[in-house]
Amino acid sequence: MQTPEELEAALALKSIARNISLKSSLQQMPKVYSALWPAARRFVTGETRQDAIDTARTLAAQGYSTSLECIGENTATEQACQDAMSEFLALSQAIETASLAGSATLSLDLSHIGLSVSRELALENLQRLAQDTRARGISMMLGMEESEKIPAILEVYTQVAEQHQHMGITLQAHLYRTPDDLAMLLRLPGKIRLVKGAFQEPAERAMQRGEELNLRFLALAQKLVEAQHSLWLATHDQQLLQECERRGILSSPHTEVEMLYGVRSDLLKQTKQAGQQTRLYLPYGLEWYLYLCHRLAEYPPNIYRALADCVQPSRTEQIVNDYL
Quick count: other Cβ atoms within 10 Å of Cβ 127? 15
Residues 137-145 have a mean pLDDT of: 97
Strand pairing class (192-195; 65-70) = unpaired
Does residue 48 register a pLDDT over 60?
yes
Return left, alpha or beta for 137; rule: phi > 0 is left, psi -120 to 50 is alpha, else beta: left
Q: Cα 171–175–181 angle (5° rounding)?
A: 50
Residue 198, annotated ligand binder?
yes
List where CATH 3.20.20.220 sits in the chain: 45-284
What is the structure's pLDDT at 68?
Answer: 98
Residues 33-57 have a mean pLDDT of: 93
What is the structure's pLDDT at 36?
Answer: 85
Least confident of 23-37, 227-241, 279-293: 23-37
Residues 213-226 have a mean pLDDT of: 98
What is the structure's pLDDT at 29?
Answer: 64
Least confident of 114-123, 191-200, 265-274: 191-200
Percent residues over pLDDT 70 in the chain: 90
* Of residues 85 and 23, more confidently modeled: 85
pLDDT class for 293, splitting at 50, 70, 90? confident
What is the structure's pLDDT at 97?
Answer: 98
pLDDT class for 211, splitting at 50, 70, 90? very high
What is the structure's pLDDT at 15?
Answer: 59
What is the structure's pLDDT at 44?
Answer: 96
Residue 196, annotated ligand binder?
yes
Residues 114-121 have a mean pLDDT of: 97
What is the structure's pLDDT at 197?
Answer: 92
Q: Which of 78, 96, 172, 183 is nearest to 136 (CA)?
A: 96
Does residue 303 register a pLDDT over 90?
no
What CATH number belongs to 45-284? 3.20.20.220
Helix locations, the chain, DSSP H: 4-17, 20-27, 30-40, 49-60, 78-97, 119-136, 150-161, 178-185, 211-226, 238-246, 265-273, 288-298, 302-311
pLDDT class for 300, splitting at 50, 70, 90? confident
Least confident of 14-18, 185-189, 303-307: 14-18
Average pLDDT, the chain: 91
What is the structure's pLDDT at 95?
Answer: 98
Residue 144, annotated ligand binder?
yes
Does residue 299 register a pLDDT over 80?
no
What is the structure's pLDDT at 81?
Answer: 97
What is the structure's pLDDT at 256?
Answer: 98
